[in-house]
Structure 1
Amino acid sequence: MKAVLCKTWGLPDTLVIEELPDLLPGPGQVTIDVKAAGVNFPDVLIIQNKYQFKPELPFTPGSELSGVVRAVGAGVSNTKPGDRVIAFVGHGAFAQQVVVPAQAIMPMPAEMDFDTAAAITLTYGTSHHAVLDRAQLKAGETMLVLGAAGGVGLAAIEIGKAIGARVIAAASTDEKLAICKAHGADVCINYSNEDLREAIKLATDGKGPDVIYDPVGGIYTEPAFRSIGWRGRYLVVGFANGEIPKLPLNLTLLKGASLIGVFWGEFAKREPLKNLAAMRELLEWLRQGKIKPHISGRYALADTAQALNDLAARKVTGKVIIQPEL
C-alpha cells in the first residue's frame, strides 16, 4: 500500500510517498482501506512540529477518514470486514490503509458518500463543541464568525443557523462571502475592504455579537473582541493567520466578556460520550439537510503536498479531500 510520509519536519513539499507493507491489525484494532481523508489546518502544522500533538518521525499525517474495514484484530466485536466506517485518528489518514483502535470508528450512515463522511468529523466536531458546548449559543443570539469560508467557519455558520441564531460571516473576499451566504449567513463582512469594528457595529445595531468564533487569530482578533457584546463569549479556536494575538485583558472586564479556549481533540479524548452524542446530532442534522459540508477540491495521494499548500495559502473554501485510490 502507498502512504504519505513525513520523515523530517518541514513544509508540505518535504513529504514523500512510499510503498509500504499492508497493515495488519493488532488486538482491539481495525485495518481500514481509506476511501477519503479530510485535510485540515492542523495537518499543515503537525508536519512542521508546530502542533500540540507531536508524533515521532517518520509518520503519516492526516487525522480524519472514511473507508471500508479490511480486517479486525482479536477482541473486536463492534465491526467486521466490509463495513463502511468513519474514523478520527491522531495521524495516519493520508494513506491507502490505516490501523485504528476499534473504539475510534463510527459506522457510516447508509446514504452518506465517502467524501462527505471524511469531511464532517474534525470541522463539524470542533464547531459543535465550540458553539454549543463551550459558548452555549442560544436561539435568537448573534454570532460573528471570522474566517467564515474555511472548513470550521462554514460548519459554525450552519450549526448556528440550525439552532436558530443570527450569524454574521466575516471573510477576505466577496467570493468567499458568497459561499458563506449560501450556507446560511445572515450578514456578510469583507474585512479586506471594510472597517471590521464599524461593520460589526452596523450589523448588530451597536450591541455587538453575543458570541465570536475565531479560528484565524492575527490582526482581526483585537478589533473583533473590542466589538463584542455585554457578557459576550469569545471562542479561541485556532490561528490560521499564523500569528497568536495578544489582548489587553482589561477588555474582558469592560465588557463582562469571556475568553473561551476550544480544543476539540482533547475534548473528544477526555469526554468521549459527550463527543459521540454531538456526532450523532450532527449526523441527524446532515440527514435532515440542516448541514452540508462544502467540498471545494479533491486530490490524489500524490498531490497531498499541493492540497496542504493550498490550505495554508487560504485558497481553500470549506473542505478538501485526499482520495488515496486515485
Structure 2
Amino acid sequence: MRAWQYMGKQQPIQLNEVEEPVPGPTQVIIDVLAAGLCHSDVMYMEVGDQAMPFLPMTQGHENAGVITALGSEVTGFKVGDVVGVNSAGVQPPLGMFTPGGFADKLAADYRDLARVPDGLDISLAALATDAGMTSYHAMIKAGGAKKGMKVGVIGFGGLGQIGARAAVLAGAEVHVAEMKEEAWPAAREVGAVSCVKDAAEWVTDPRRGGDFDLVVDYAGFDTTQKAVNAIKRGGKVVQVGLGKQTFTILTTSILGKTIEGSLGGTVADIEEVFDLMLRGEITPGYEEITFDQIGEGLERLKNNQVLGRLVARFGN
C-alpha cells in the first residue's frame, strides 16, 4: 500500500510502498478515507530523529475511514462501520510513535474509535479527530470557557477557528489575535467581537496587565508571554500551539495566574464535536487536497501558506 513517511534527518516526507498492517487483538484495520494535515506533522519532522522510536515513520494523526478488519478482542464495532480515530488515546500517538494515517490503511485500537454519524462529511469527520478534539478540549474542558467570561484566542487557523466558535457557543465574549487579516472576516462570522494582529494589543498598560479570564494559545510561536500578559489575576492561559519547541516567560508575570498545557482530548470530545458539526453549529473552513498532494500540503503548512485546515481526501 502507499504511505507518506518521514525518513529522518529533517528531510521532507516521502511517498513509499509499504506492507499492509495486520490488526493486533484489540485493533481494527481502517481503510482511510480522509486525513487532516497539521502543524504538528511539521514539528514531528523537526524533532523526529530524537523522538520517534523507529524510522521510517508513517505520519498522519487526523484520520477517518471505514473498518475493514477486526482483531480477536474487538467489541462494539463491526466491518463497515465509519469511524474517526483519537490520535493519542490508548494507542501511542499516531504518526510519531506508531504508524499514522497518511496511508491507504491504518491499524487503530478500538477503544480510540469515535463513531461518525450518518450525514457527516468524511473530511469534517477526519478534521474533528484532532483539530476539533484538541481545540474543543482546550477551550471547554481545560479552559472552562462559559457565559460571562472574556476569552482570547491566539491563532485563528485550523484549531483556533473551532476553539473560538466553541467559546462563542458556550456564551463567552471572544476576541481573536491573528496575524493574517484575511482570516478576520471568518473570525467575526463565528462570533468574535474583535480581531487584532498581535495579542500584545490586548494590553494597553503593561504595568496593570490585561483583563481576560482565559486565553487559549493555538499558535505557540512568540505568543505565550503575550497570553500571560493579557489575563488578569486568577486567569488562565491554556497552551496548545507547538509553533516553537521552547519559549521564555517572565517569572513575575505568572504570579497569581495559571498556565496549563492541553494535549489532545477524548473520544467523547470527538463525538461532541461530531454532533456540533452535524447540527451546523461548528462549520470550520478547510481545503480538500488529494492523497498525492500530502507532501506539498505539509510544505505549505511549513511556509504558513494555509488558511483553516488542509484535509486529504483519499480516492477509496
TM range, normalised to the smaller chain? 0.7 to 0.9
1:290 partnered with 2:281: yes
1:309 is aligned, of 290, 299, 309, to 299
Secondary structure, in 3 states, of the residue corresponding to 1:126?
helix
CA distance in 1, matches of 2:219, 2:246: 9
Report the residue type matching 2:2 in the other structure: K
Partner of 1:244: 246
CA distance in 2, matches of 1:164, 1:319: 25
CA contact (8 A) 2:211 2:231 kept: yes
CA distance in 2, matches of 1:22, 1:224: 45
Q: Could you say what the CA RMSD is over the residues aligned between the two structures, in angstroms?
A: 2.2
CA distance in 1, matches of 2:278, 2:35: 21
1:153 partnered with 2:160: yes
CA distance in 2, matches of 1:183, 1:251: 31
CA distance in 2, matches of 1:306, 1:63: 17
Matches within 5 A, 1:176-187: 176-187=183-194
- Cα distance change on mapping 1:9 and 1:100 into 2, 3 Å: farther
Partner of 1:278: 269
Partner of 1:163: 170
Report the residue type matching 1:103 in the other structure: R
- Cα distance change on mapping 1:199 and 1:135 into 2, 3 Å: closer
Partner of 1:136: 144
Please list the CA deviations of residues 113-140 of structure 1 after superposition, one character each: whole Å capped at 9, or x if unmatched. 1100000111221122212222222211
1:263 partnered with 2:254: no
CA distance in 2, matches of 1:52, 1:214: 26
Secondary structure, in 3 states, of the residue corresponding to 1:315?
coil
Partner of 2:43: 45
1:104 partnered with 2:112: yes
Question: After alignment, is 51-60 or 120-129 more displaced?
Answer: 51-60
Partner of 1:123: 131
CA contact (8 A) 2:40 2:242 kept: no
Report the residue type matching 1:100 in the other structure: A
Partner of 2:2: 2
CA contact (8 A) 1:96 1:325 kept: no
Question: After alignment, is 18-27 or 134-143 more displaced?
Answer: 18-27
* TM-superposed deviation, 1:224: 3.6
CA contact (8 A) 2:114 2:267 kept: no
Partner of 1:226: 229
Report the residue type matching 2:45 in the other structure: I
* TM-superposed deviation, 1:158: 0.8
Report the residue type matching 2:238 in the other structure: L
CA distance in 1, matches of 2:221, 2:284: 26
CA contact (8 A) 1:95 1:324 kept: no
Report the residue type matching 1:316 in the other structure: V
Q: Percent identity?
A: 27
CA distance in 2, matches of 1:162, 1:5: 38
CA distance in 1, matches of 2:63, 2:82: 11
CA distance in 1, matches of 2:121, 2:311: 12
Partner of 1:26: 24
CA distance in 1, matches of 2:51, 2:32: 22
Please list the CA deviations of residues 294-318 of structure 1 after superposition, one character each: whole Å capped at 9, or x if unmatched. 21x2222222121111112221122
* TM-superposed deviation, 1:44: 0.9
1:210 partnered with 2:213: yes
* TM-superposed deviation, 1:238: 2.2
- Cα distance change on mapping 1:225 and 1:310 into 2, 3 Å: same
- Cα distance change on mapping 1:65 and 1:200 into 2, 3 Å: same
CA distance in 2, matches of 1:53, 1:87: 22
CA distance in 1, matches of 2:51, 2:274: 27
Report the residue type matching 1:145 in the other structure: V
* TM-superposed deviation, 1:161: 0.6
Secondary structure, in 3 states, of the residue corresponding to 1:116?
helix
User: Unaligned stretches of 5+ in structure 2?
Assistant: 88-93
- Cα distance change on mapping 1:302 and 1:198 into 2, 3 Å: closer
CA contact (8 A) 1:201 1:208 kept: no
Normalised TM-score (structure 1): 0.85
Partner of 2:71: 73
Please list the CA deviations of residues 68-108 of structure 1 after superposition, one character each: whole Å capped at 9, or x if unmatched. 11111222232222221111341221011111112221211
Report the residue type matching 2:212 in the other structure: P
* TM-superposed deviation, 1:243: 5.9
